[in-house]
Amino acid sequence: MSAPSNTVPGSPLESQVTAPAVITASRRMYWSVRRELWEHRSIYIAPLAAAAVFLLAFLTALTLSPAHRHEPLDIPYELAAALIMGTGFIVGIFYSLDSLYGERRDRSILFWKSLPVSDLTTVLSKFAIPLVILPLLSFAMAVVTQFVMLLLSTAVLAGSGLSVGTLGARMSFFHLSLMLLYHILTVHGLWYAPIYGWLLLISAWAPRSPFIWAFLPPFVIWGVEKIAFRTSHFLGMLQYRLTGPEPSTTARSGNLMEMMSALTPVQFFSNPGLWVGLAVAAIFLAAAVRLRRYREPI
Amino acid sequence: MACIEARGLRKAFGTTIAVDSINLRVEEGRILGLIGPNGAGKTTALNAILGLTPYQGELNVLGRDPWTERDQLMRDACFIADVAVLPRWMRVWQALDYFAGVHPRFDRAKAEGFLAKTTIRLASKVRELSKGMVAQLHLALVMAIDAKLLVLDEPTLGLDILYRKQFYDSLLNDYFDRSRTIVVTTHQVEEIQDVLTDIMFINRGRIVFDCSMEEFESRYLEVMVNPEHIAAARALKPIHERQVFGRSILLFDRVERQQLAALGDVRTPSIADLFVAVLSNQSGAAQGGTR
């Protein structure tokens, strides 16, 4: 992507002007991601709002119903993480659908294309938002939220005269965070890659209403398969992609995060579904890069 | 080396041919005005030059193929496509930061200097600025780039006359030097007549007229003919004739000034008048050909 040799052509004119600064590919990527964060502030505002709402509810529960104080406290902790990360996931879906469509709709694509940033860098920076930025942001917010919850409940428990030690023993804050990080990196970062790839592709292609174009085709395929063959392999495939690879030992009753985190890294990375998904994501992305080159404002 | 060189450049949308096999050569250090009616193919030709649209034929801009090397080309070239394309959510300081972050030839201090002469504040969002201020901002950003080629496609569309005047003044005074090349399209031809070094008329996807301003000024003369000399004037084969306030104005190509001075008031025509003459002759010729 960055070919520094290109910035130094041998024309005699070149020597008169000041030497241009060398801009590396990673620097262009950094600024491209930053500009996404400027434009789409919901990327951090939405998970923050979810965290705030959850903390408020937690505090209310803690002060209003003292009976709950003696119950195991790790369930609301997981709920907090799930809520924040679920918010991140939803933001990621809407962000991906709008990103390459929005710049064509408001014609700003012409402005972005007037700068020396390749279509590949642009699409990758937009892909990085749901794949890297949102999961990491959600993770950081979830950990902070959980930490605040821990402080709050400790304060309340200490206030009511209970020993704080029992809480600490029950809860392994560090372990929970690690599990969360593992879940975020594997599921949101890798397993969901083809989902975001598909949304970006539709966003790059759709002549209008990318939302319908993204969700109607899977729905139609499901319907046709159901009527014509009376099977639902496609639906199963989608479900598999959304819920992730199941470890054979865990029953379906457990919550999603526990299930996913029960997978050892070896199990996770030896799963062919992961690699097929990544390959499909790469194909979707390549198509999106190509489409962005051809697409004009709508 | 030519800045832009096109051979057999062609672009069709379905059965509509937007650019019909044009040959074009723009030398370094020129200010070319690309003039044509709506739908003549100006914007399509510019889009091809900027790597925004695929094309047929040969095209070389600053030694590169614009379609496959758009991002590298944009290190040396920049464009203002329309006043409306700056993203509306962006703040002025964000635009400066972003340009400085991705453009190797962007001089931030220079851009801030240009902005300081306007009423634009760094904290403002583009959507809060008036149309004229958006154009000022875009021009400030673009002029701070040490580019070899600047393409302006209707840059002053929808601006009032003050902003239009300012726009071209600062472009000439603060930006242009002999090593840069500027290509501009506009409908307000009169306003850029003094700015240009070359003119090119484009109609129905073809280049119908192409000359330098020096040539234009030495070749074409317009005479407001005194009524008693009208027959004599017509005998000199004007390329166009029009009536203003009951008097005939005749446009001549390559006729001696002294010869014309005897017939009435002689002056250099405006580009717009020549444009009308060339286009009406062309359509007349086309009709003659089909008969």
Provide the shortest C-alpha distance from residue B79 to chain A (in Å): 6
CA atoms lying within 13 Å on the CB side of residue A19:
7
- Range in A47-56, A141-150, B8-17, B111-120 the model is least confident about: A141-150
A255 contacts A79 by C-beta, under 8 angstroms: no
Determine the pLDDT at residue B283.
67
Average pLDDT over residues B232-248: 87
CB contact under 8 A, B146 and A18: yes
Provide the shortest C-alpha distance from residue A220 to chain B (in Å): 31
* Token couple for A169: 């023993």
Closest CA to A274 of A201, A185, A194: A194
- Which of A22, A116, A296 is the closest to B53 by Cβ? A296
A191 contacts A244 by C-beta, under 8 angstroms: yes
CB contact under 8 A, B146 and A114: no
- Which of A18, A38, A115 is the closest to B74 by Cβ? A115
User: To 10 degrees, the CA torsion angle through B234, B239, B242, B247?
Assistant: -30
Provide the shortest C-alpha distance from residue A21 to chain B (in Å): 5
CB contact under 8 A, A115 and B99: yes
The amino acid present at A234, given as its one-letter code, is F
Residues in chain B: 291
CA distance B90 to B98: 10
Hey, how many other C-beta atoms are within 10 angstroms of the C-beta on B35?
26
> Does the pLDDT value for residue A11 go beyond 50?
no
CB contact under 8 A, A107 and B50: no
- Which of B70, B72, B148 is the closest to A6 by Cβ? B72
B216 contacts B270 by C-beta, under 8 angstroms: no
> Does the pLDDT value for residue A179 go beyond 90?
no
CB contact under 8 A, A9 and B63: yes
* Domain parsing of chain A, residue ranges: 25-294
Per CB-CB distance under 8 Å, the chain A contacts of B75 are 6-7, 20, 116
> Which structural domains are found in chain B, ordered by start?
2-204 (3.40.50.300), 216-290 (no CATH)
**CB-based contacts of B249: which residues, under 8 Å, 6+ apart?**
B222, B223, B224, B225, B241, B242, B243, B273
- Gyration radius of chain B's alpha carbons: 21
Using the Cα atoms of residue A72, residue A76, residue A77 and residue A79 in order, give the sign of their dihedral. Answer: positive
CB contact under 8 A, B74 and A116: yes
B10 contacts B57 by C-beta, under 8 angstroms: yes
Q: Which residue has the higher pLDDT, A164 or B20?
A: B20
B153 contacts B185 by C-beta, under 8 angstroms: yes
Closest CA to B137 of B154, B148, B124: B124
B99 to chain A: closest CA residue:
A115
> Does the pLDDT value for residue B57 go beyond 70?
yes
Provide the shortest C-alpha distance from residue B211 to chain A (in Å): 26
Average pLDDT over residues A5-11: 40
CA distance B152 to B184: 5
- Range in A1-15, B91-105, B145-159, B196-210 the model is least confident about: A1-15
> Does the pLDDT value for residue B55 go beyond 90?
yes
- Residue B106 burial (10 A CB sphere; 0-12, 13-18, 19+): buried
CB contact under 8 A, B52 and A113: yes
Average pLDDT, chain B: 88
* Token couple for A152: 């709050």
Provide the shortest C-alpha distance from residue A202 to chain B (in Å): 20
* Token couple for B176: 């242009």
Q: Which residue has the higher pLDDT, A5 or A104?
A: A104
CB contact under 8 A, A110 and B99: no
Average pLDDT, chain A: 80
Determine the pLDDT at residue B175.
84
CA distance A119 to B104: 18
- Which of B1, B87, B104 is the closest to A39 by Cβ? B87
CB contact under 8 A, A7 and B81: no
Per CB-CB distance under 8 Å, the chain B contacts of A35 are 94, 98
Per CB-CB distance under 8 Å, the chain B contacts of A122 are none
Provide the shortest C-alpha distance from residue B231 to chain A (in Å): 54
> Does the pLDDT value for residue B187 go beyond 70?
yes
Average pLDDT over residues B96-115: 94
> Does the pLDDT value for residue B168 go beyond 80?
yes
3-state secondary structure chain B: CEEEEEEEEEEEECCEEEEEEEEEEEECCCEEEEECCCCCCHHHHHHHHCCCCCCEEEEEECCECCCCCHHHHHHHEEEECCHHHCCCCCEHHHHHHHHHHHCCCECHHHHHHHHHCCCCCCCCEHHHCCHHHHHHHHHHHHHCECCCEEEEECCCCCCCHHHHHHHHHHHHHHHCCCCCEEEEECCCHHHHCCCCCEEEEEECCEEEEEEEHHHHHHHEEEEEECHHHHHHHHHCCCCEEEEECCEEEEEEECCCHHHHHCCEEEECCCHHHHHHHHHHHHHHHHHHHHC
Average pLDDT over residues A173-184: 76
Cα B3–Cα B8–Cα B13 angle in degrees, nearest 5: 105
Per CB-CB distance under 8 Å, the chain B contacts of A292 are none
User: To 10 degrees, the CA torsion angle through A297, B5, B7, B9?
Assistant: 10
Measured between alpha carbons, how far is residue A286 from residues A16, A124, B210 in Å?
40, 10, 42
> Does the pLDDT value for residue A252 go beyond 90?
no
Cα A28–Cα A291–Cα A298 angle in degrees, nearest 5: 100
Which phi and psi (to 5°) does residue B60 adopt? -135, 120
Closest CA to A108 of B90, B91, B112: B90
B136 contacts B83 by C-beta, under 8 angstroms: no
Per CB-CB distance under 8 Å, the chain A contacts of B89 are 38-39
Under DSSP, the state recorded for A76 is: H
> Does the pLDDT value for residue A70 go beyond 90?
no
CB contact under 8 A, B102 and A119: no
A116 contacts B75 by C-beta, under 8 angstroms: yes
* Owner of token pair 């409908």: B187
Under DSSP, the state recorded for A291 is: H
Which phi and psi (to 5°) does residue B28 adopt? -65, 145
Provide the shortest C-alpha distance from residue A189 to chain B (in Å): 26
Determine the pLDDT at residue A238.
85
- Which of B51, B78, B101 is the closest to A31 by Cβ? B101
In this prediction the ipTM stands at 0.87
Mutation target to probe the B interface, by most B beta carbons within 10 A, among A34, A114, A120 is A114
A40 to chain B: closest CA residue:
B89
Q: Which residue has the higher pLDDT, B83 or B215?
A: B215
For chain A, the residues whose C-beta falls within 8 A of a C-beta of chain B are 3, 6-7, 9, 11, 13, 16-18, 20-23, 27-28, 30-32, 34-35, 38-39, 103, 106-108, 110-111, 113-119, 121, 293-294, 296
In chain A, what's the furthest Cα-to-Cα distance?
Answer: 82
Give the predicted TM-score (pTM) of the model. 0.84
CA distance A224 to A168: 54
* Token couple for B248: 């005939």
> Does the pLDDT value for residue B234 go beyond 70?
yes
B79 contacts B152 by C-beta, under 8 angstroms: yes
SS3 A64: helix
CB contact under 8 A, B101 and A22: no
B98 contacts A31 by C-beta, under 8 angstroms: yes
- Range in A202-211, A266-275, B187-196 the model is least confident about: A266-275
Determine the pLDDT at residue A211.
92
For chain B, the residues whose C-beta falls within 8 A of a C-beta of chain A are 1, 28, 47, 50-54, 63, 70-75, 78-82, 84-91, 94, 97-99, 101-105, 146, 148, 179
Per CB-CB distance under 8 Å, the chain A contacts of B80 are 114
CA distance A13 to A10: 8
